[in-house]
Structure 1
């Protein structure tokens, strides 16, 4: 049943709500949904031999802790919260979030949800890894999930990992075929093994589509500094870039603003960011963190949520380019669709680390 639920979820549309609120849904529709979910879970448990859920969905409390980008970053954190909001609305669970203004807030936010007896605490991003590990070790009866980190090997921690390099390859391919100057930019929020996957994929896709292309690379060293993002994008534009991709959380909002003011294209990240600047955002490298969060809640309810790594790639619908494609030329869309098929089939292997990247493209990625 777990695989079936995941397939259904990954085919769904993203929730549009940006309302920051937490709480259980007590209306009859939510109660009916919760009852149905429990009944289905019980039937599945009888067939598989797993333990049936010990309480109604409405009794579960799930909390989400953002990184410093905040819940309205238009990207990673917001998409995570939208997935959890949808779980609250459709499954009848109680949901809430706590924002982290600085990294000093991670541990206190964890303690708050633990003290309030939340059943599942979801950490948004690898920056919360240390705080999540500490809280999980101290509270083995509480379940935790963390997005984009697989370093925690504990039975009560589920890692939700996305193949960001595949989505980035696709938007890089779009950029390589769309640029008029053969010059594009990339602004990353911070460099590390996880974030560099965006850069490896973007450069690889752009280079495969356009061998003559130049990729300017910038490290903002922050996910919450839109002013720095805007400055770096303006530098790239001044140096000839007519498309700038950002993988930088709230910092990336400054990149989009700079591109909008200069009349060049921006590429969004994590969610479909076209609504921010419809005539500017060419496409977005999407990670369906909303669906992964929703799926984790369903597994919590039916008793199947386990520690370990859950991986979301292009084949499973976990990553993709945004569905809004009005600014992309039809022939480019066709070319990208062909590339997608080759990635899924394994004909194209997108580099996800320094070794595989340099083996094909040489030492040209500057942000390690």
Structure 2
């Protein structure tokens, strides 16, 4: 499926309080008279990716329910100039905190944050080293390790997974060849190897996070090569991979948000990157004056920043397999298994 481009959403009413300059370390954000914050969310594209941006928006929705003022600015999927314009339009001191994220925004935030030293930013899924930016990263390699365990189980256990051909072949599709995506892939391959080192892992990159047609084609190619499971880590492009799983009558694993019901009976699980939850925690810290700007907070299996969810998958993963995956999860949390990372 393809997503239509959306125009930026105009900024809504703003608070009157101006921000004070933030040096490194812990800094507080200004609030309204009731102690609530105003938060602008800048998306590097449109919502509707059924992935990370939608997860972030669920966090904003929760914050709005909690009484904070929120506004989300969307944009065209491949228009960095528009992303930058949106970011800077809400960086003039009328919003307590500006939220944005993804590696696609790294250069833009790196360039814009120093121009607006009084503006507080929360930047998720990558790091910007600036005294007014609180960065959030995720140990996607850990969550992807569990996805690899599941994929290996599915391709080696035909009795438990009836759509599997027992080919001992799985695949992983990345959106773009960048460190954060390669971190998913490194974790996935490690999980596969932990179960059965002889399982073959096919790898490809779409070259985009918004080309679902190409995501479909790459997944179809993997299924044609015998893959029983394809793990998609390609944002909107990966939605095409889930469609390919249905058409090939094989399995897929979703990413970032719970995608298990998108192609019911074919999506074994989804590797969640809990962006929304992390943003709620960060805003709560900011409200208390405890959010550490100029620093990075990392979320992994131990602090529920990533997870593998089987909810809404139609019960297609047997409980003994889920129990086995939980055992692997606990070993990672306990430090008995160290999952490799592609980020150094």
- Which interval holds the TM-score relative to the shorter structure? 0.7 to 0.9
Counterpart for residue 231 of structure 1: 217
Counterpart in 1 of 2:339? 350
> What do residues 266-295 of structure 1 show as CA deviations (whole Å, max 9, x unaligned)?
100011111212211100111111101111
- Structure 1 residue 143 displacement after superposition: 0.5
Q: Give the 5 Å matches for 1:306-345.
A: 306-307=292-293, 308-324=295-311, 326-345=315-334
TM score, norm. by length of structure 1: 0.79
Q: 2 CA distance for matches of 1:312 and 1:21?
A: 32
Matched position secondary structure for 2:122 = strand
User: CA deviation digits over 1:8-40, x for unaligned, max 9?
Assistant: xxxxxxxxxxxx99979xxxxxxxxxxxxxxxx
Post-superposition, which runs of at least 4 consecutive aligned residues in structure 1 deviate over 6 A? 20-24, 50-53
Structure 2: unaligned runs, 5 residues or longer: 1-8, 14-26, 156-165
How far residue 67 of structure 1 moved from its aligned partner, in angstroms, is 2.3
Q: Does 1:93 align with 2:75?
A: no
Q: Which residue of 2 aligns with 1:143?
A: 120
Question: 1:161 — aligned with what?
Answer: 137
Q: In 2, Cα distance between the equivalents of 1:53 and 1:327?
A: 48
Please give the secondary structure, in 2, of the residue aligned with 1:114.
coil
Q: Structure 1 residues 74 and 321, CA, compared in 2 at 3 Å: closer, same or farther?
A: same
Q: Which is richer in helix?
A: 1
Counterpart contact for 2:120–2:132, Cα < 8 Å? yes
CA–CA separation in structure 1 for the residues paired with 2:283 and 2:12: 15
1:184–1:216: 8 Å Cα contact kept in structure 2? yes
Q: Tell me the secondary structure at the aligned position of residue 72 of structure 1.
A: coil
Q: Does structure 1 conserve the Cα–Cα contact (< 8 Å) formed by 2:30 and 2:96?
A: no
Output the CA distance in 2 between the equivalents of 1:51 and 1:278.
45
Query: 1:353: how far off?
Result: 2.2
Alpha-carbon distance in structure 1 between the residues aligned to 2:338 and 2:29: 41
Please give the secondary structure, in 1, of the residue aligned with 2:292. Answer: coil
Q: What SS does the corresponding residue of 1:272 show, helix, strand or coil? A: coil
Over the residues paired in the alignment, what is the CA RMSD in angstroms?
Answer: 2.2
Query: Distance between the aligned counterparts of 2:274 and 2:176, measured in 1?
Result: 21
Is there any run of 5+ residues in structure 1 with no aligned partner, and where?
A: 1-19, 25-49, 356-368
TM-aligned CA deviation for residue 181 of structure 1: 1.6
* 1:73 maps to which of 35, 49, 55: 49
Counterparts of 1:36-185 in structure 2 under 5 Å? 55-56=32-33, 60-68=37-45, 70-90=46-66, 92-101=67-76, 102-115=79-92, 117-150=94-127, 152-179=128-155, 180-185=166-171
CA distance in 1, matches of 2:144, 2:183: 8
Cα drift, residue 297 of structure 1: 1.7
Which of 183, 187, 194 is residue 197 of structure 1 equivalent to? 183
Kept after mapping to 1: 8 A contact 2:92/2:116: no
1:57, 1:93 within 8 Å by CA — same for their partners in 2?
Answer: no
Alignment deviations for residues 289-311 of structure 1 (CA, whole Å, 9 cap, x no partner) = 11011112212222222211011
Alpha-carbon distance in structure 2 between the residues aligned to 1:159 and 1:306: 9
Question: Do the aligned partners of residues 234 and 21 (structure 1) sit closer, same or farther apart at CA in structure 2, a change above 3 Å counting?
Answer: farther
Aligned to 1:5: none
Give 1:329 shift.
1.8
TM-score (norm 2): 0.85
* Separation in structure 1 between the aligned mates of residue 54 and residue 111 of structure 2, nearest angstrom: 25
State the Cα deviation string for residues 235-282 of structure 1 (Å, max 9, x = none): 001110111100010001000011111111110001111121221110
SS at match of 1:348: coil
Distance 1:242 1:317, change over 3 A: same
Would the alpha carbon gap of residues 146 and 140 (structure 1) be closer, same or farther in structure 2, given more than 3 Å must change? same
Q: Is the 8 A contact 2:168 2:199 kept in 1?
A: yes
By how many angstroms is 1:319 displaced?
A: 0.8
SS of match in other structure, 2:252: strand
> Closer, same or farther in 2 for the Cα pair 1:317/1:21, shift >3 Å?
farther
C-alpha distance in structure 2 between counterparts of 1:254 and 1:304, whole Å: 41
